[in-house]
Structure 1
Amino acid sequence: MRVSVPDEVLPADRLGRVHFIGIGGAGLSAIARIMLERDLAVSGSDGVDSPVLAALRDLGAEVHVGHDAAHLAHLGPGDTVVVSTAVREDNPEVVEALRRDLRLLPRSAALAAVMAGRRTLAVAGTHGKTTTTSLLTVALQAAGADPTYAVGGELAQTGTNAHEGTDDLFVAEADESDGAFLVYRPAAAVVTNVEADHLDSWGTEEAYQAAFRDFLDCVDPAGFVVCVVDDPGAAALAEDARARGLEVVAVGEGTAADLRADDLVLEGTTSRCRVVRRAPDGREEPVGELRLAIPGRHYVLDALAALAVGLRLGFDAERLLAGLAGFGGTRRRMEAKGEQAGVRVYDSYAHHPNEIRGDLQAARAVAGEGRVVVAFQPHLVSRTRLFGPAMGEELGAADEVVVLDVYLAREDADPAVTGDLVADHVPLPAGRVHRAGAPAAAAPLLARLAGPGDLVLTLGAGDVTTLGPLVLAELAGADGGA
């Protein structure tokens, strides 16, 4: 559901009691956690129970499973209801909030409310936002800072997606999917890349790109922008930012970068490179060695962007690099789920053709001599309609591919848009491309396809994340429980 952003976004401590509809989601749960850590009154509801809801209850939130108008009975004038974009207009709590004329906020305005009074470091881009936000948070913590952060995934180090820090810094994932990033007023911004996506919201690629140009207008003129200029979209945005008089720090592997990755090595589950930066006189000077305990070139570029922000803020390079080296990953970003019968199982959030390409490159490095067996769940009818064939093309980098049904999320089914739109374009022999329905139905198939030394990778933004443990259980059963 789309809710308008008010002309004035009040600070969080002026919102009264706050009720979140869809509190279990990554975005709303992060905001709720920060409010709870500030001792604000929080309640909420979600369709299903989860560990996220349990954690919020432990922090003092009143959380309901299921939606009912009665859950708003404790709210009065001056209190606030925050609504997830995944919630539909006929949700009984939404209907009740509108009937009672309660203050209604979208996720973006609620996040802006907790940002109030802080120096916000906003991380935007089509891909890599969650990982880059996480890397920046961990790097700053290692360098001695204690930022507040709100991330679209759980940090391995903390087991949570948000925290109220003691510093004035606020590290935030700035989502462009529904225009949320245009509500924030960051002191600094990162743009990882700009590629067409979320056209269900934006309509055209041109409108989507224009939104990122509008995002530049949101950045404090005295602040700075970090752009990963290996990406053409981000490189064009960097030029636009310079033309507006904004300070730009360009990062990447190419010679156009101010902070550059050199001698990149991807080896198994790790990656490393030398980092050099351009001095004022144009010469390059060494910064140090960047090491990551996660695989993939795209993650190196994310880390380089995080490093650039830390350096520009004046933090020590050695401590920032140490923080990045200790980064344990983010849930659902090339996350190791376990190993059974000699088969390693990973899970990742990739749901766009370029994300699929990056994660398959990383998977190939991890697999070594083994094969890569992928289960992919297309996410959203609108995205699959636009990018299904391209998704299939990228999946051809695997050895065996299982395509699941489309995960509908906030959209209705379309009989013309199914997993076949992806599977039919995978450039592998027919016997190596398979179809399955839900994750549970795919688990036995994956267990049969994978052998010792192989790597199983589950990909997608929906409930495909439940598949990894099911595959491990199937493998354990086939192996006699060993």
Structure 2
Amino acid sequence: MVAIKNIQRVYFIGIGGIGMSAIARYFNENGASVSGYDRTETSLTQQLVTEGMHIHYTDDVQAIDREAQVVVYTPAIPASHAELNWYRDNGYTVVKRSDILQAITNEMYAITIAGTHGKTTVSTMTAHILRHTGYGCNAFLGGIAVNYDRNFWSSDRQVAVIEADEYDRSFLKLNPDIAVLTAMDPDHLDIYGTPEAMEEAFIQYTHNIKPNGTLIVKYGLKRDADLDTPNKITYNLYNDQANIYATNVQGSAGGYHFDVVEESWKIEDVRLNIGGLHNVENALVAISVAYLLGIDAEKIKAAVADFKGIRRRFEYVVRHDDKVYIDDYAHHPEELRALITSAKALFPGMKCTVIFQPHLFSRTRDLADGFAEVLSLADEVVLLPIYPARELPMEGVTSQMIADRMTNKNVRVLEKAALLEWLPAHASPLLITAGAGDIDLLKGRIAEIVNG
């Protein structure tokens, strides 16, 4: 492949994906001609067009860029895709998104964040701190930062913050200077087969750290003994056996005050203005990275206080004294656990209704018991039909599969239209929508219902 800095014309197949669009923006902001295909037009693809990129929405070899130096595709694209196969058959340089990120990690000082959950928030917090403090970075994110309404920003400083995706083993191509590992809970078993195989992949990820690089890892992970690197820093929200932990954590006004304690340093009275105790733990990681880079503690505190969160990560859609509506991307049992327990802790006494859209038939099948256990923590649950994404239906795998396993029987399975009819008479003071599919398309209508 041509060196990244020498690529002047690039074509993306699946340009509207959150990770793909970040790379497209990178090339576009560095003066390259960028065009591509996606299946559907979205607000994100519309933004890309306004930024100067050319995008079409039909799989049509007549619409492609035949002068592209490099063609980038996402693993979600089917093998039968006509444009992808035309480029391959005609000898073009065709690479995955992960190949571009690999080249970026080889050419820049790379901070990569991996883990079954938490990686989008940690990546965005880290990149925000580096930007806000004036240190600077190139940010490749898996979510839209509320502060900037972007999933990418650039800097003259040759430092990259990259969300490291475990799907399709993409993250194993990265060569970080600082590698973060937040969690190794089972997921993507359609790719890995077994939890043990997935754990092995995360361990391999830590082996790809550059010489003299650093691993920042959550204290107490199942395979901790195998995560043995020369420069290893552990973190944990409360456990003082970790190298970095939080003390004096106090919730207030939908956010938190806390102190960050490390063996040789301490930052007191940090203010985080987003909800979710798990986000305090995520902030520990971002603060640790900034401290490693030598950024002043007061600048770090100011940046954390200014962090406004990520679209669909504990996002307050409606927030009044008597009613709160939170939307979240949570699509794994442990993410849902953190979401529900944090919301109930921040807003005690409020009846909590969770509307959840399962994502993928395979994930629902593999983790149905976990979903049922965690969703039973809510006072009331509505399950939407499974969002298939890249998968075909599986016999016997439906949202009812989760409902049947729940100990809390105040649960119903509804189509979207039926949900909107049911909700006006049943909206709880604390309402949560969650899922990685298209449930967020209902957000505006649900907000109207909640606001009355």
How would you bin the TM-score normalised by the shorter chain? over 0.9
How far is the alpha carbon of 1:10 from its aligned partner? Answer: 4.1
User: Which of residues 273, 276, 294 in structure 2 aligns to 1:314?
Assistant: 294
How far is the alpha carbon of 1:227 from its aligned partner? Answer: 1.0
Write the letter of the residue equivalent to 1:224: T
Where does residue 75 of structure 1 map in the other structure?
66
Secondary structure of residue in 2 paired with 1:151: strand
TM-score (norm 2): 0.95
The answer to whether residue 236 in structure 2 is matched with residue 227 in structure 1 is no
Q: Distance in 2 between matches of 1:441 and 1:41?
A: 45
Secondary structure of residue in 2 paired with 1:165: coil
Q: Distance in 1 between matches of 2:211 and 2:418?
A: 53
Where does residue 37 of structure 2 map in the other structure?
45
- Describe how 1:274-289 pairs up with structure 2 within 5 A: 274-279=259-264, 285-289=265-269
How far is the alpha carbon of 1:463 from its aligned partner? Answer: 0.5
- Of 175-184 and 440-449, more deviation after overlay is shown by 440-449
User: Which of residues 391, 399, 414 in structure 2 aligns to 1:419?
Assistant: 399
Q: Distance in 1 between matches of 2:57 and 2:160?
A: 30
Secondary structure of residue in 2 paired with 1:152: strand
Say if 1:340 and 1:475, in contact at 8 Å, map to a contact too.
Answer: no
- Describe how 1:126-141 pairs up with structure 2 within 5 A: 126-141=116-131
Q: Distance in 2 between matches of 1:456 and 1:467?
A: 13
In the TM superposition, what whole-angstrom CA distance separates every residue of 1:93-147 from its partner, at most 9, and x where no partner exists?
1122222222111111122334442101000111100000011011112322110
User: Which of residues 225, 231, 240 in structure 1 aligns to 2:226?
Assistant: 240
Q: Distance in 2 between matches of 1:323 and 1:341?
A: 27
Distance 1:146 1:286, change over 3 A: closer
Where does residue 81 of structure 2 map in the other structure?
91
Q: Distance in 2 between matches of 1:342 and 1:255?
A: 37
The answer to whether residue 173 in structure 2 is matched with residue 183 in structure 1 is yes
Which blocks of at least 5 consecutive residues in structure 2 are unaligned?
none
The answer to whether residue 97 in structure 2 is matched with residue 113 in structure 1 is no
Distance 1:96 1:270, change over 3 A: same
The answer to whether residue 310 in structure 2 is matched with residue 330 in structure 1 is yes
Where does residue 324 of structure 2 map in the other structure?
344
How far is the alpha carbon of 1:472 from its aligned partner? Answer: 2.2
Say if 1:120 and 1:171, in contact at 8 Å, map to a contact too.
Answer: yes
Secondary structure of residue in 1 paired with 2:405: coil
Say if 1:378 and 1:384, in contact at 8 Å, map to a contact too.
Answer: yes
The answer to whether residue 78 in structure 2 is matched with residue 63 in structure 1 is no
TM-score (norm 1): 0.89
- Describe how 1:295-444 pairs up with structure 2 within 5 A: 295-338=275-318, 343-429=323-409, 432-437=410-415, 439-444=416-421
- Describe how 1:138-287 pairs up with structure 2 within 5 A: 138-229=128-219, 231-233=220-222, 236-237=223-224, 239-242=225-228, 244=229, 246-252=230-236, 253-279=238-264, 285-287=265-267
Q: Distance in 1 between matches of 2:417 and 2:254?
A: 28
Say if 1:34 and 1:114, in contact at 8 Å, map to a contact too.
Answer: no
Secondary structure of residue in 2 paired with 1:392: helix
Distance 1:75 1:116, change over 3 A: farther
Q: Distance in 1 between matches of 2:338 and 2:321?
A: 27
Distance 1:261 1:130, change over 3 A: same
Secondary structure of residue in 2 paired with 1:30: helix
Q: Distance in 2 between matches of 1:225 and 1:144?
A: 24
Q: Distance in 2 between matches of 1:467 and 1:371?
A: 21
Q: Distance in 1 between matches of 2:397 and 2:387?
A: 11
User: Which of residues 460, 464, 467 in structure 1 aligns to 2:435?
Assistant: 460
How far is the alpha carbon of 1:291 from its aligned partner? Answer: 1.8
- Of 330-339 and 200-209, more deviation after overlay is shown by 330-339
Which blocks of at least 5 consecutive residues in structure 1 are unaligned?
1-8, 280-284
Secondary structure of residue in 1 paired with 2:248: strand
Secondary structure of residue in 1 paired with 2:317: strand
Where does residue 24 of structure 2 map in the other structure?
32
Secondary structure of residue in 1 paired with 2:441: helix
Say if 1:269 and 1:365, in contact at 8 Å, map to a contact too.
Answer: no
Say if 1:31 and 1:114, in contact at 8 Å, map to a contact too.
Answer: no
How far is the alpha carbon of 1:445 from its aligned partner? Answer: 2.0
In the TM superposition, what whole-angstrom CA distance separates every residue of 1:319-377 from its partner, at most 9, and x where no partner exists?
11221121100011011123599543211011111100000012213433221111001
| Count of aligned pairs | 451
Q: Distance in 2 between matches of 1:65 and 1:391?
A: 35
Q: Distance in 2 between matches of 1:286 and 1:163?
A: 30
Question: What is the aligned-residue identity percentage?
Answer: 32
RMSD between aligned residues = 1.8
How far is the alpha carbon of 1:473 from its aligned partner? Answer: 3.0
- Of 92-101 and 298-307, more deviation after overlay is shown by 92-101
Distance 1:397 1:50, change over 3 A: same
Say if 1:458 and 1:467, in contact at 8 Å, map to a contact too.
Answer: no
Secondary structure of residue in 2 paired with 1:179: helix
Distance 1:303 1:339, change over 3 A: closer
Where does residue 5 of structure 1 map in the other structure?
none
